[in-house]
Amino acid sequence: MMARRKYVVGNWKMNGLSDALGEAQAIFSAAGAHAAVDVAICPPFTLIGAMVAAAPGAAIGGQDCHAAAAGAFTGSVAAPMLADIGASVVIVGHSERREGFGESDADVRAKAEAGLAAGLSVILCVGEPREVRESGGAIDHVLAQVAGSVPDSFDAQRLAIAYEPIWAIGTGLVPTVGDVAAMHGAIRGALSGRFGDAAANMRILYGGSVNGDNAAELLDAGDVDGALVGGASLTSAKFVPIIAAAAALG
């Protein structure tokens, strides 16, 4: 197994106008001091080109892509288009897409395949709703999502899984470190069963209310290789401490 580098990804969601580019520059500049950590920002589509220009060489990505490479899909953005404007990453299957836009596991898998085919690194999200967590079915639910949405073939360096319990997103609630470790271990086990040794090289990120205060503890949990961060990724003041926490853990 290659050592898994920590990976900290900002998901700006539908936030950010041109005046936010300075925050991205500050984040990538500070990240330069933490060479052991891979850092990416996924801004809205509208900011990707300008962010690539403002932070040359930085890992910048989309928050979604269409499964098709081109076609009559009004309003959608294809993975090759992301690559074409300099993006190197794409998030697929975020719960806000699965729930708000009705994306199925099959849809998410097709999007992941499209991202990989376009040469992008893919961050594939899974996570259970609150009632499933409360009924004790969280691991089964998430492993079913993993089974249904992870493609059959990929380069393990270019596919990361993000475990994001839906009830923890934007709420300030986080699972216990033990629950995070149990889920990540279960995901790793399922990936190993399906992909063998390649699973050891795949990064599994935690997401949901990660901030500068809880990052060190969450990132140190078993099989946690990084964080997918929403609200706390919008400013360098909040995001850089999370990057620093990841760096401190190596």
* Alpha carbon distances (Å) from 29 to 25, 33, 58, 101: 6, 8, 10, 35
CA neighbor of 164 nearest in space, from 89, 246, 230: 230
Q: Check binding of 229 to ligand PGA (CB under 6 A).
A: yes
Exactly one of 23, 94, 96, 128 is catalytic; name it: 94
Q: Indicate the length of the chain as a whole number.
A: 250
Catalytic annotation present for 164: yes
Q: Which is nearer to ligand PGA, 132 or 228 (CB)?
A: 228
Q: Which is nearer to ligand PGA, 40 or 195 (CB)?
A: 40
Q: Which of 4, 11, 118, 151 binds ligand PGA (CB under 6 A)?
A: 11
* 8-state DSSP, 155: -
Exactly one of 23, 96, 128, 164 is catalytic; name it: 164
Q: Which tokens belong to 10?
A: 């900002």
Q: Which of 16, 93, 151, 207 binds ligand PGA (CB under 6 A)?
A: 207
CB atoms within 10 A of CB 57: 10
Q: Which tokens belong to 93?
A: 């299957």
Which amino acid is it at 66?
A: H
Q: Check binding of 90 to ligand PGA (CB under 6 A).
A: no
Axis-axis angle for helices 45-54, 21-31 (nearest 10): 50
Place of tokens 């596919």: 159
Using CB under 6 A as the binding criterion, the count of chain residues that bind ligand PGA stands at: 13
Q: Which of 170, 178, 193, 222 binds ligand PGA (CB under 6 A)?
A: 170
Q: Which of 228, 242, 246, 247 binds ligand PGA (CB under 6 A)?
A: 228
- List binders of ligand PGA among 101-120 (CB under 6 A): none
**Which residues of this protein are in contact with ligand PGA, per CB under 6 A?**
11, 164, 169-170, 207-210, 228-232
Catalytic center residues = 94, 164
